[in-house]
Amino acid sequence: MRGVEEVAVADAVVSDAAGRDAVGSEAAGRDDAWSDDAGSDARAGALVAGAALLRVHGLARSFSGVQAVDDVSFDVAPGETVSIIGPNGSGKSTTMNLLTGVLRPDAGTVELDGEDVTRASQEAINARGVARTFQNGRVFPALSVRENVFVGAYARQRALRPARRLIDVPVLRWVSLLAELGLALVPTRGVRRALREIDSETDAQIGRFGGRLTPRAQDAAYTLSYANRRRTEIARTLVQHPRLLLLDEPTAGMNPTETAEVIEQLQQLKSQGQTILLIEHKIDLVMALSDRVLVFDSGRLIAAGAPADVQNDPRVVRAYLGAGRTRRRADAADAADAVTAAGGAQ
């Protein structure tokens, strides 16, 4: 719970930021360099030298008049951990949905390793090495934890899906399904080996969550706590060995101890070279993990940079604390979180 004391801390930081704002060269606010075309490369946080794994340019999407994502551009380099922060409703999840084929953009492009995937299906994007979790946590409720994770690994195994390319061809997709069914009924040696690999990979990823998930491996997902559903979902992405891992608020609904565990796990993945794009509003987590932070407000990317720089950016404080605009409850909650956590982040 966020208390009065925390909001007071938040307000104290506003005045601090306001002070910096007054002396800063960018005191004109977020309608300056971030919003004109000349500034678009800077806005994109064109901080990535060399080839980007993910390149997003001019992404836009509206919902019946609401501009949820507005001309957003950024890159993610291989091995980078990039976080997206911003108040509720600022377009973070919509952006992730646009990157993963869940939604189609009105404008803009998404490139993966130089390949245009803007209009590709969710399956095609996943097949190119992008795995994600959802903000509301998505598991198959009637399947066990183990089965939920196993499913993620299954899709990756070529031996089990001999005609998988046909799955995208409407008339011929039954060939692919029949081939899979045949192999399931009469497994070849290659299939048996593939299944053993999936088994051990599934165990390894569940084991990552140690005492939390392993004892629950056979339990149906609908019986799990919210935190364990999130862990199951994360394990399902990890068995895919994604080139790009996208996490939408992976610690939502977790207490501080559980959140710290996730931070540790993500640190470990990061140190193994995993490329991560993380949506998160717990700023201590963002500060601990990110190489770069992208700040969204009202669908726009208003700042990008190293965590410490972004944290002190007047535009960011303004976006969170709603100076000069109606302060919504959700923003205030995010802001209190952000500033409290930022104050606590070492």
**Does 88 contact ligand ADP by CB under 6 A?**
yes
**Does 236 contact ligand ADP by CB under 6 A?**
no
Residue 312, amino acid: N
Instruction: Choose the stretch contacting ligand ADP; rule: CB under 6 A; options: 17-25, 61-69, 146-154, 304-312.
Output: 61-69
Cα four-point dihedral sign 39, 41, 44, 49 = negative
Structure tokens that stand for 176 in this block = 């692919």
Nearer to ligand ADP, 68 or 183 (CB): 68
Q: Which of 43, 75, 83, 86 binds ligand ADP (CB under 6 A)?
A: 86
Q: Which of 68, 131, 262, 304 binds ligand ADP (CB under 6 A)?
A: 68
Kindly state the smallest distance separating residue 27's Cβ from ligand ADP, in Å: 26
Instruction: Choose the stretch contacting ligand ADP; rule: CB under 6 A; options: 62-70, 142-150, 307-315, 332-340.
Output: 62-70
**Which residue's structure tokens are 């559903």?**
229
Kindly state the smallest distance separating residue 114's Cβ from ligand ADP, in Å: 27
**Does 66 contact ligand ADP by CB under 6 A?**
yes
> With contacts defined by CB under 6 A, how many residues of the chain interact with ligand ADP?
11
**Does 93 contact Mg ion by CB under 5 A?**
yes
Instruction: Choose the stretch contacting Mg ion; rule: CB under 5 A; options: 84-92, 144-152, 224-232, 323-331.
Output: 84-92
**Does 133 contact ligand ADP by CB under 6 A?**
no
Kindly state the smallest distance separating residue 206's Cβ from ligand ADP, in Å: 28
Cβ neighbours for 150, distance < 8 A, ≥ 6 positions apart:
198, 199, 202, 239
Structure tokens that stand for 110 in this block = 């998404």
Nearer to ligand ADP, 63 or 222 (CB): 63
Q: Which of 73, 81, 83, 94 binds ligand ADP (CB under 6 A)?
A: 94
Kindly state the smallest distance separating residue 155's Cβ from ligand ADP, in Å: 25
Nearer to Mg ion, 161 or 281 (CB): 281
**Does 91 contact ligand ADP by CB under 6 A?**
yes
Nearer to ligand ADP, 164 or 281 (CB): 281
CA atoms within 13 A on the CB side of 125: 27
90 is in the binding site of which of Mg ion, ligand ADP, none (Cβ under 5 to 8 A by kind)?
A: ligand ADP
Q: What is the per-residue burial (b if ≥16 Cβ within 10 Å, else e) of 288-318?
A: bbbbbbbbbbbbbbbbbbebeebbbbbbbbb
Give the Cα separation of 50 and 77 in Å (integer): 8
**Does 135 contact Mg ion by CB under 5 A?**
yes
Q: What are the residues binding ligand ADP (CB under 6 A)?
A: 63, 66, 68, 86, 88-94
Q: Which residues bind to Mg ion, rule: CB under 5 A?
A: 92-93, 135
